[in-house]
Amino acid sequence: MLIGNAPCSWGINYPTGNRYTWQQYLDEVAAAGYEGTELGPFGFLPKDAGLLRDELARRKLTLIGATHVHTFGDTGSKPRFLATLRDLSALLRDLGARHLVIMDESNWYPAGQEGVLDEAGWQGLTDMIRDALHLVQDEYGLKLSFHPHIGTAVERETQIDRLLADTQIDLCFDTGHHAFWDQDVLAYMDRVMPRIAYMHLKNVDPAVRARVLRGELTIADSYGAGVMCPLPDGAVDIKAVMRLLADRGFDGPVVVEQDVAADARETPLQLAARNLAYVKEIAS
C-alpha cells in the first residue's frame, strides 16, 4: 500500500506566503520516507507539468492527487469553482494522478456560525458537486471525492449521510475530522465503506477535544492547542482502521496528515517520519 503525505503537514495551506518553498517540501516529504504526495493548494507546487514531473521523479515521489478547498456556501462561486477544477484536473491527468478531493471552506463562515447553511445553501452545495462530478469524472476520467471537515457544512454523520443520499459523490474519509466530534470512526467506516474512495489518516487528542466539546476552546483555537495529534498518540485506533481497510480490500490512496501544534517539539519532518514509521509497523 502506497502511503502518502501532503503539504498541509508542513503548515502549507495557501499557494504563497509559506515557511517552506516547494523544493524544501518535496525534499522533506521524500526524506521522511514517503513515496507519494498530494499536490497541496493549487499553485504551491509548479503548475508546469513537465517541471513537476521531473522534480517528483528526481525524489522518487508519485503524485497521488489533490485536495481543493472551495467556498460552497457562496452559491455564486460555481463558475470559478468549475474553472479551477478544469485546470486542476488537466494537471493531475497529465501527471498520472487519478484522484481529486474537494471540501468546504471553513473560514468563509462567520464566527459561531461555522458550517451553517440554509436549505438554499445546501441545494447550492449539492448542485456544485453534481456539476463537479460530471466535469472531473466524465470529462477528465479522474475520481472525485468529498472530504467532510470540521467547521464546515459537512462534518457530522447526519450531514455526511445526507450528502451521500443527495449526490453520487464518494468520500475522502478523514479519521481525525470524524473523531473530532466524538463520532465512532470504525462504525461509520464499516457502514459506508463502499462509498469511501480515499483516506486521510489523522488522530485526535482526547483531552483537547474534551475542551472543545465543553465549550472551553473554539474549533479554530483547537488546532494550535494540538487537537490533531500524531497518529500513535490519539483517541482513534489507527491500527483498527488499517485492519478494517485491509479486511475490506480498500485499494484507494492513504494519505497521512499532521496539523502541527503551536508548541510542538518536533518539526514537520520529524512528525511525518514518526507517523510513517507507525503506519509501516502496523502494516508489517
User: How far apart (Å, rounded) are the C-alpha atoms in residues 155 and 14?
Assistant: 22
Q: Please give the residue range of the domain that contains residue 205.
A: 3-283
Find the mean pLDDT for residues 226-233.
Answer: 97
**49 — pLDDT class (breaks 50, 70, 90):** very high
**2 — pLDDT class (breaks 50, 70, 90):** confident
Q: DSSP secondary structure string, 145-167?
A: EE---TTSSS-SHHHHHHHHHHS
Query: So what's the pLDDT on residue 283?
Result: 80
**Structural domains counted in the chain:** 1
Query: So what's the pLDDT on residue 276?
Result: 98
Average pLDDT, the chain: 97
Whether the pLDDT of residue 187 is over 80: the answer is yes
List all residues 6 or more positions away from 154 whose beta carbon is below 8 Å from its beta carbon: 103, 104, 115, 125, 146, 148, 160, 163
Q: What share of the chain is helix, strand, coil (3-state, %, to 5)?
A: 50, 15, 35
Find the mean pLDDT for residues 123-136.
Answer: 98
Query: So what's the pLDDT on residue 106?
Result: 92
**84 — pLDDT class (breaks 50, 70, 90):** very high
* Percent of the chain residues past pLDDT 90, beyond the cut: 95
- Which residues, in sequence order, are bridge partners of residue 203? 229
CATH number for the domain harbouring residue 142: 3.20.20.150
**284 — pLDDT class (breaks 50, 70, 90):** confident
pLDDT tens readout for residues 104-120: 999 999 988 889 999 99
**1 — pLDDT class (breaks 50, 70, 90):** confident
